[in-house]
Amino acid sequence: MAIIINHRFIDRLTSTDNYDKIHIIIVGTFNPGLPDISKLNATEKIQFDEIEKSRKFKKFNQVRNFYDRPQNRFWKVMDFLNDNDFYTKNNINSRNHNGLKFYVGMDRDKVFKKQCDFCLKNKILITDIAMTIKPVSFCDIYDNFPDTAIEKASPIWNTDNIIKVIHDYNPKKVLINFKADSKSTPNICSEISKITKRFPDKLIPSLKSTSGAAGYKYHELIENWKGHFL
């Protein structure tokens, strides 16, 4: 028996059915879906049952898209690019309840559709470097799932699929939304290095991470990211 966890959006990782062109690919690390219950042993089933009951997990399990957790700043950065007029008239910390970032009280389905429409319009594909993980325990996996935990979880990589999309669609840029030369995640960084060697002119490694844990302010992130979309 084993813990096997597919990416939460595994069917969308490199799905290009709706794209005629792709100008930008954004690569993150991993977002855990539900474990394969049939593969868990009795102890693991009890452990996951407790995780599933937690308030934190229930909130996390509602997300509809990459970077959709409240603490992640990605969609507000994209919203600044999408609706600059709103932020010209309002403080950067203002909440745009008609925008791309989900806030409590908003309709998740409508926000998700806006996010998808934004990506299609701007020919942006969002993906992650890992498709599946096989951790020895649930420790850290559903608790902010740090890259160091993903690193140690025997990942099945998405690298070859990403390389194929780059080859087929010839995007202008591939943006890496994490530290791609971190000594704490050598395996993840090795996968990014494989893409860099194939397409050295396209990769933009180590943008300021939009993760809340990274601690960057919105003005720092916007300044760092906006030049790649203009």
Share of the chain above pLDDT 70, in %: 100
The reported pLDDT for the residue numbered 165 is 98
How far is the C-alpha of 82 from the C-alpha of 96, rounded, in Å?
11
- Which 3-state string (H, E, C) describes the chain? CCCCEEECCHHHCCCCCCCCCCCEEEEECCCEEEECHHHCCHHHHHHHHHHHHCHHHHHHCCCCCCCCCCCCCHHHHHHHHHCHHHHHHCCCCCCCCCCCCCCCCCCHHHHHHHHHHHHHHHCEEEEECEEEECCCCCCCCCCCCCHHHHHCCCCEECHHHHHHHHHHHCCCEEEECCCCCCCCCHHHHHHHHHHHHHCCCCEECCCCCCCHHHCCCHHHHHHHHHHHCC
* pLDDT tens profile 90-135: 999 999 999 999 999 999 999 999 999 999 999 999 999 999 999 9
φ, ψ dihedrals at 164, nearest 5°: -65, -45
The reported pLDDT for the residue numbered 1 is 72
φ, ψ dihedrals at 154, nearest 5°: 45, 60
Q: Taking 90 as the threshold, does the pLDDT of residue 3 lie above it? A: yes
Q: What contacts 133, CB < 8 A, 6 or more positions away?
A: 4, 5, 30, 32, 141, 150, 153, 154, 155, 156
The two structure tokens encoding residue 22: 């792709």
Q: Which of 39, 12, 22 is nearest to 172 (CA)?
A: 22
The reported pLDDT for the residue numbered 228 is 93
The reported pLDDT for the residue numbered 206 is 74
Residue 230's pLDDT band (cuts 50, 70, 90): low
The predicted model gives 38-50 an average pLDDT of 97
Residue 229's pLDDT band (cuts 50, 70, 90): confident
How far is the C-alpha of 47 from the C-alpha of 107, rounded, in Å?
32
The reported pLDDT for the residue numbered 205 is 82
* pLDDT tens profile 8-30: 999 999 999 999 999 999 999 99
Single-letter code of the amino acid located at 173 = K
pTM of the predicted model as reported, rounded to 2 decimal places:
0.95
* pLDDT tens profile 165-214: 999 999 999 999 998 888 999 999 999 999 999 999 999 987 999 998 88
Q: What contacts 7, CB < 8 A, 6 or more positions away?
A: 13, 30, 31, 32, 33, 128, 130, 131, 132, 158
Share of the chain above pLDDT 90, in %: 92
Q: Which of 117, 128, 227 is nearest to 172 (CA)?
A: 227
